[in-house]
A and B are shown apart, each in its own frame.
Chain A
Amino acid sequence: MSATSVLSYALLAAGVAMVLFASVGLLAMDDIYGRLHYLAPSSLGAVLVAAAIWVREGPSTIAMQATLLAAFLLVASPALVHGTARAVRISEHGDWRPRRGEPVETEGR
């Protein structure tokens, strides 16, 4: 087995492990805000799988499609997580902004 093949399989295994970890984490968490955190590892898994395809195939159609998929997930996933958290907050309280007297964490102050 060549070094390229070993690297490709290692990247693939890491990517699949990330998605599996995200899936099990989703099941293990108690509330929606905890579950939202597990969307990030799945995007990282997509990047690793795309990297595995690049290492195996080199510049090719499927490698470009994998890159496009990973890039789309990297951009879309954080936006979707933010949108979901905002929608949940609106659903729970009627507004996404902090309520009067609600403690808010601020950075550096």
Chain B
Amino acid sequence: MTGWQIAAAVLTAAVVPCGWVCLRRSFASGLVAVQLAATAAGLALLTLAEAEGREPFANLALVLVVLSFAGALVFLRFLERQR
């Protein structure tokens, strides 16, 4: 197992606390956790692409991060309307 594969595994593990916050805390806290999880998952995909020498797979990381940003903006609108 190379250092890059270990890094990808650790970054994937970093998503677990975010999932815990999503499940157990408020909607607003869950939204912050989703944003952090998207960053961690994107970096995990990037390091995995580097570890396996598959450059095109880095596109997945880029698309995930951009789409999760758009998704977070939509959830922010829902949060504003939640009283």
In the bound complex, residues from chain A placing their C-beta under 8 Å from that of B29 are 32, 35
Number of interface residues of A (CB under 8 A): 45
Q: Give min CB distance, B13 to chain A, whole Å.
A: 8
B46-83, CB < 8 A from A: 46-47, 49-50, 55, 58-59, 61-62, 65-66, 69, 72-73, 76-77, 79-80, 82-83
> Closest residue of chain B to A29, judged by CB?
B29
- 17 inter-chain pairs at a CB distance below 8 angstroms, sorted by A residue, are A12-B47, A15-B43, A19-B14, A20-B10, A35-B32, A36-B32, A42-B39, A45-B39, A46-B43, A57-B50, A62-B50, A65-B58, A77-B35, A77-B39, A84-B72, A91-B79, A91-B80
Complex Cα distance A38/B32, Å?
9
Shortest Cβ distance from A96 into chain B, in angstroms?
9
- Specify which of B16, B18, B50 lies most central, judged by the most chain A CB atoms within 10 Å of its CB: B50
Interchain CB contact under 8 A, A42 and B55:
no
Q: Which of A9, A13, A32, A72 contacts B32 (CB 8 A)?
A: A32
The interface of chain B, by Cβ under 8 A from chain A, is: 3-4, 7, 10-11, 13-18, 20-21, 26, 28-29, 31-33, 35-36, 39-40, 42-43, 46-47, 49-50, 55, 58-59, 61-62, 65-66, 69, 72-73, 76-77, 79-80, 82-83
Of all chain B residues, the one with the shortest Cβ separation from A21 is: B14
A8 to nearest B CB, angstroms?
Answer: 9
